[in-house]
Structure 1
Amino acid sequence: MESNKREFIPLNLAVLTVSDSRTEADDKSGQTLVSLLEKDGHHAADKQIVRDDRYEIRVMVSKWIADPDIQAIVTTGGTGLTGRDGTPEAIAPLFDKVIDGFGEMFRVLSYDLIGTSTLQSRAVAGVANGTFIFCLPGSTGACKDGWTKLISAQLDYRTRPCNLVEIMPRLLEV
């Protein structure tokens, strides 16, 4: 008898904190993401902090999307509306495809927690060179919610009816 059960496939993820003020000592959001992804069985292949500068952000993310050993990237910070918030502008030009549903779902989930303030969120996701990229706000709560309510299930091969892991071998098709 054939089993419908799938085995978990651990992925290598990189975490990027975008901040003009955070250091490793006080980067709670980045540390939370690393802790959550490792708790779920994935590997934190790298974790960095860069200033909220679109070119510094783009350099780091470009390095990771060029690395065949990194399957996904999660960023935290720089998704608001202030003059220094530039994560979406930095990363969107790198996308081969935008995952529109991620930002939409993130704001739906956030609405239940923070009401209309969620309209200020510019959470975004996409795929670049076969690497998934998720850009979350800088708050620790937003990182927890984004990971536990959206990203974790989609980066779990056991999630039915479909998940992002099962399409990974086809991301670079031409």
Structure 2
Amino acid sequence: MPHAPNDRRSAATLRTPRLILRPWREADLAPLFEINGDADSMRHFQSMMTRAESDAWAARLRAHFDEHGWGFWAVEEDGGAPFVGVVGLLTIPWQARFTPAVEIGWRIHPRHRRRGFAEEAARAALDFGFGTLRLDEVVAFTIPANEPSWRLMQRLGMRADGHFDHPRLPVDHAMRQHLLYRLAAPGR
């Protein structure tokens, strides 16, 4: 199992040259729904979210922060847009051949894509995960059709580790099969 502190602590804030990865604010809920309720943004997920579902997801992300002090951060552009998306690390709450594990993930608002924000923020999250949290490994996963996502996983140095059936999707669901990528801590 990867080492990840579970003690309560104040929520971490991370900075990159262009971005601030910070705890959630109420003002983030509307732009988060613009991502989660957008057909194009959610084309590689089971379905778009209603506003209530998006707010509930944000509440789960905030609860993860309350418990761990880290998670999927709200990402803002330093000196620019107050919300460009979400990027971060989460403990995986379901079982698969690679769990227990911590995943890295991202969702960038359509207005802010193709500017390298997902990669820049993901690198900061990985540095935090391996440096501060001293994780042994971080995983990522997506469906095979989500080429932009698995290409980013590759740019982050993650290695492909086959497929798995996502346990939260029905057996006959077209998106049940996912690609798995892994990244070991530097020097391990």
The TM-score normalised by the length of structure 2 is: 0.38
TM-score normalised by length of structure 1: 0.41
Task: Looking at secondary structure, tell me which structure has more helix per residue.
Answer: 1
Q: By percentage of residues, which structure has more strand?
A: 2
Greater RCO between the two (CA within 8 Å, min separation 6)? 1
